[in-house]
């Protein structure tokens, strides 16, 4: 009683037990990422309930027969070991219990008589403070199994690639043998010694009645593992910051398939170019799969979570402007807009193709992502008002320091994250309500309405058309390309999924070559190939308008400057035409200007005030002329 009282007052510290690695789970509870503890040790908490009962039964029968009812030490074993030592003069068998081993694992120390005595007292204390199942769980979490492997969970995963619950008799026997001499019996280094030790445990288990002889014989024939298994570490940019046992929304199989797809695509990309992809459940806003960059690749900044990097959206915000304009009655899908040159207070945007389509429907303008109609629509709706509408639903557009919202925001003159863009499109794909994306299972946040469900559906219908490179119908999609191809986006959605793709350089460098339609859209199509599609209804298309038709039927016409214009001599004058057949030649007083023949615009720097004769000739010989008058700026009437 005195020993029990003294022991009770001095329980061992469980600090080492609390220092564990982390396991992150997928949506179904399957582990998707493992991380070692702070010292680099693979050590994970292993409750007794998570282990195959055969492991517990064999462990107790072989290592500590009286574990379930001894007080932490085994008096019978102590008497036996003492008698054997007295008779032979050396140690024949030990008297340690599993509880004493737990104390030793909690507080490693040299094997002296004083240390053994302290371990015995603390083993009694441990039994007084904790249940036998809790003590067994401590052993299962702390036992060494060679190298930096600690605990049965890490040993099961690294040596056999299975969970502790799935261990078979041969694997259980090897682990019991290995924990006795973890370095001398490592199967990757000493396979023959490990096999012999395992088979001795199997034979002993058969004698003890834990397994039958046939099972033991069958288990003895199994090979021992010769190397460690690779532990999964899916989406490390996200999972590395999560607490152990966090259940994410990621689907393990889909997430792994997405990583393989992205890895194959990266082999075709430039060394500094990277890629990020999100697959989102449109209704729940849960992220089902995420590829956030090339893990460990320094030139590609693989340590950065690219879904949280602020990037230019290019034209990807246009659908939301159109939706807001529809709600205000400024336009509808059949409203006619003008894709013609126009200067908005010295801001003169152009379309990506550097050509203009003339009069088009709103639906066509959105599908073709024409810039001039979108800027004109924003000019009417109000850039500050558009910025405030997105800000009110949790998507504040980042602007240059000190800048106010202005017309370029609709063409990518702003910034937002991939997660924010995904939240916007999830709302567009469903009911017009915007809610932050969820990576943690069970999270739910407030949904803020941007568009009504009817208007969201109307905009989505406009965007639903064949996706290049993908045979299935019923996918709505949109692209976005920022200046210099720094950010190429492709976003698509059906009735259940939203897929968002970004490509570019993480450092913001410009990329040569194709824009999003040639770079990000093929990746979008490949990603949809991983999914079961729930197609949107495809509405009968209106008669399409094509650039080819415009080039053939629209006569060559001067767009700027207008007839009889008087221009100030304050710098380069931007000359623009519509129609005609390229290449085009611009001449001033009969002398060709230095221009790009494929473009419908050119710059002319007057040599001074006076009259200039402008002529533009197309590939078919058609021409248009205009007389330009240039005056000194101070001679013009003030406005």
Q: Which of 166-170, 320-324, 561-565 has the lowest mean pLDDT?
A: 561-565
Q: Is the pLDDT of residue 546 over 50?
A: no
* Other beta carbons less than 10 A from residue 14's beta carbon: 15
- Sign of the dihedral through C-alpha 113, 114, 115, 121: positive
- Give the mean model confidence (pLDDT) for residues 397-419: 93
**Nearest Cα to 512, choosing from 269, 297, 314?**
269
Q: How far is CA 425 from the centre of its chain?
A: 16
Beta strands per DSSP E along 134-238 = 149-150
Split at pLDDT 50, 70, 90, the class of 88 is low
**What's the gap between Cα 286 and its chain centre?**
12
Quick one: what percent of the chain has pLDDT higher than 70?
Answer: 90
- Helix/strand number for the chain, H first, E second: 21, 21
Confidence of residue 82 (pLDDT cuts 50, 70, 90): low
Helices (H), 316-463: 318-328, 362-367, 371-381, 383-392, 418-429, 453-463
SS3 state of residue 231: coil
Q: Which of 168, 145, 296, 164 is nearest to 228 (CA)?
A: 145
pLDDT tens for residues 507-516?
Answer: 988 877 656 6
Cα 213 off chain centre by = 51
pLDDT digits (tens, 9 = 90+) for 462-475: 999 999 888 888 99
113-151, pLDDT tens digit by residue? 777 878 888 888 899 899 999 999 999 999 999 999 999
Cross-strand bridge partners of residue 247: 25
Active-site residue numbers?
63, 315
Pairing of strands 149-150, 42-43: parallel
CA–CA dist 100, 97 (Å, integer): 5
Full-model pTM: 0.80
Structural contact between residues 291 and 239, judged by C-beta atoms closer than 8 angstroms: no
Q: How far is CA 327 from CA 277, 322, 365, in A?
A: 31, 9, 17
Are the C-beta atoms of residues 59 and 167 closer than 8 Å to each other?
no
pLDDT tens, position by position, 594-617: 887 778 888 888 888 888 889 898
Which tops the pLDDT comparison, 328 or 346?
Answer: 328
Q: What is the C-alpha separation between 71 and 49, in angstroms, rounded?
A: 22
The radius of gyration of the chain's CA atoms, rounded to the nearest angstrom, is: 36
Q: How high is the pLDDT of residue 454?
A: 94
Lowest mean pLDDT, pick from 251-265, 295-309, 582-596: 582-596
Contact in structure between 494 and 533 (CB atoms under 8 Å): yes
Task: Quickly state the pLDDT bin for 552 (edges 50, 70, 90).
Answer: very low
Which pLDDT score, from 0 to 100, does residue 638 have? 47
Residue 639 has pLDDT above 70, yes or no: no
Nearest-angstrom CA–CA distance, 85 and 74: 17
Q: How confident is the model at residue 200 (pLDDT cuts 50, 70, 90)?
A: very high
Q: Are 106 and 126 in contact (CB under 8 A)?
A: no
What are the phi and psi torsion angles at 241 (to 5°)?
-95, 5
pLDDT tens per residue, range 15-29: 888 889 999 999 999
- Give me 344's structure tokens: 């908005």
In whole angstroms, what is the distance from residue 320 CA to residue 316 CA? 9
CA angle at residue 110 from 109 to 114, to 5 degrees?
90
Q: Across 93-102, 349-358, 483-492, which has the greatest mean pLDDT?
A: 483-492
For residue range 480-531, list pLDDT tens digits in order.
Answer: 998 878 899 999 999 999 999 999 999 988 877 656 677 899 999 999 999 9
| Mean confidence (pLDDT) of the chain | 88
Poorest-pLDDT segment among 78-87, 110-119, 592-601, 615-624: 78-87
Which DSSP string do the residues of 471-538 spell out, in sequence order? Answer: -----EEEEEE-GGGSEEEEEEE-SSEEEEEEEE-TT-----S--HHHHHHHHHHHHHTTS---PPP-
Tokens 């990757």 belong to 188
């Amino acid at each position: 009683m005195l020993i029990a009282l003294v022991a009770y007052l001095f329980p061992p510290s469980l600090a080492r037990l609390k220092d564990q690695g982390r396991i992150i789970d997928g949506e179904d509870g399957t582990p998707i990422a493992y991380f070692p503890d702070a010292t680099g040790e693979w050590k994970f908490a292993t409750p007794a309930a998570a282990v195959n009962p055969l492991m517990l039964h064999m462990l107790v029968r072989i290592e500590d027969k009286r574990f379930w009812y001894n007080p932490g030490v085994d008096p019978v074993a102590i008497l036996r070991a003492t008698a054997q030592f007295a008779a032979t003069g050396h140690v024949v068998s030990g008297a340690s219990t599993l509880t004493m081993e737990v104390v030793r694992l909690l507080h490693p120390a040299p094997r002296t008589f004083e240390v053994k005595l302290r371990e015995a007292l603390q083993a009694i204390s441990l039994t007084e403070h904790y249940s036998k199942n809790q003590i067994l769980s401590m052993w299962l979490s702390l036992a060494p199994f060679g190298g930096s492997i600690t605990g049965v969970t890490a040993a099961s995963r690294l040596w056999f690639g299975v969970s502790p619950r799935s261990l078979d008799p041969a694997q259980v026997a090897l682990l019991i043998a290995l924990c006795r001499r973890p370095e001398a019996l490592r199967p990757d280094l000493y396979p023959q010694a490990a096999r012999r030790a395992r088979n001795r445990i199997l034979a002993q288990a058969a004698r003890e009645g834990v397994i039958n002889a046939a099972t033991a014989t069958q288990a003895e024939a199994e090979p021992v593992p010769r190397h460690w298994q690779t532990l999964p570490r899916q989406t490390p940019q996200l999972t590395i910051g999560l607490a152990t046992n966090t259940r994410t929304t990621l689907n393990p199989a889909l997430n792994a398939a997405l990583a393989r797809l992205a890895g194959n695509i990266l082999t075709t990309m430039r060394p500094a170019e990277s890629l990020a992809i999100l697959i989102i459940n449109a209704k729940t806003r849960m992220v089902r799969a995420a590829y956030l960059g090339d893990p460990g690749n320094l030139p590609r900044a693989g340590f950065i979570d690219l879904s949280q990097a602020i990037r230019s959206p290019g034209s990807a915000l246009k659908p939301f402007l159109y939706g807001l304009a529809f709600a205000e009655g400024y336009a509808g899908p059949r409203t006619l807009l003008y894709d013609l040159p126009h200067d908005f207070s010295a801001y003169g945007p152009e379309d990506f193709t550097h050509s203009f389509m003339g009069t088009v429907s709103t639906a066509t303008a959105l599908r073709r992502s024409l810039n001039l109609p979108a800027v004109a629509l924003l000019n009417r709706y109000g850039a500050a008002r558009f910025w405030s509408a997105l800000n009110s639903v949790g998507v504040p557009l980042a602007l240059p320091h000190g800048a106010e919202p202005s017309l370029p925001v609709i063409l990518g003159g702003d910034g937002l994250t991939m997660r924010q863009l995904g939240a916007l499109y999830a709302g567009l794909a469903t009911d017009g309500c915007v809610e932050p994306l969820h990576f943690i299972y069970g999270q739910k946040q407030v949904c803020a309405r941007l568009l009504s469900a009817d208007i969201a559906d109307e905009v989505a219908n406009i965007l639903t058309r064949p996706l290049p490179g993908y045979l299935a119908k019923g996918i709505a999609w949109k692209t976005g390309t920022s200046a210099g191809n720094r950010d190429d986006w492709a976003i698509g959605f059906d009735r259940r999924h939203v897929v968002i793709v970004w490509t570019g350089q993480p450092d913001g460098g410009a990329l040569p070559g194709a824009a999003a339609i040639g770079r990000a859209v093929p990746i979008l199509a490949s990603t949809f190939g991983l999914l079961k599609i729930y197609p949107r209804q495809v509405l009968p298309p209106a008669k399409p308008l094509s650039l080819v038709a415009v080039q053939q039927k629209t006569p060559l016409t001067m767009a700027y400057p207008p007839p009889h214009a008087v221009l100030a001599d304050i710098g380069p004058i931007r000359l623009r035409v519509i129609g005609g057949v390229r290449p085009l030649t611009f001449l001033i007083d009969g002398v060709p200007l230095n221009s790009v023949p494929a473009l419908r615009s050119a710059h002319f720097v007057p040599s001074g005030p006076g009259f200039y004769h402008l002529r533009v000739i197309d590939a078919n010989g058609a021409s248009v002329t205009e007389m330009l008058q240039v005056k000194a700026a101070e001679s013009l009437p003030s406005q």
